[in-house]
Amino acid sequence: MAAGFARRLGGVNTQIYSGGSEPRETINPIAVEAMNEVDIDISTFQPQKFTMEMLNMVDVVVTMGCGDACPYIPGKKYIDWPLDDPAGQSIESVRLIRDQIMNNVVQLLADYS
């Protein structure tokens, strides 16, 4: 969801890479539904594991509560967003998570633009 918002709001000069420490095989259909409600289609996104190559290409690494599995590269700016995992949540709960993510992305983009 964060990548969807960042791609929509970030502009042409913002490069977005998305990866997880333990990605699922498919994207959460409830997350897809919640994002469709705000006219962002993430249905074609494919969950992927982050790579060192991916991490080396970014200035800011945003994590979402991955704990010890979070990547670390000296010199990178790290931000952790402690959010509930939308997996297994109702659409109402995922909407709240979506809105938190949107607010975080808006603030992040404002801080780095």
Could you give the CA distance from residue 113 to residue 74 in angstroms, rounded to a whole number? 22
Query: 6, 106 in Cβ contact below 8 A?
Result: no
Which pairs with CB-CB distance under 8 Å and at least 24 residues apart come from 73-80?
A: 79/108
Alpha helices, H only, 15-78: 29-36, 52-56
Q: Which tokens hold the place of 102?
A: 């949107």
Burial of 26 (0-12, 13-18, 19+ CB in 10 A): exposed
Mind listing the pLDDT tens digit of every residue in the chain (113 residues)? 999 999 999 988 888 999 888 888 899 999 999 999 999 999 999 999 888 898 889 989 998 877 777 778 888 899 999 999 999 999 999 999 999 999 999 999 999 87
How many C-beta neighbours within 10 Å does residue 68 have? Answer: 5
Give the amino acid at 93.
S
Domains of the chain with bracketed CATH? 2-8+15-104 (3.40.50.2300)
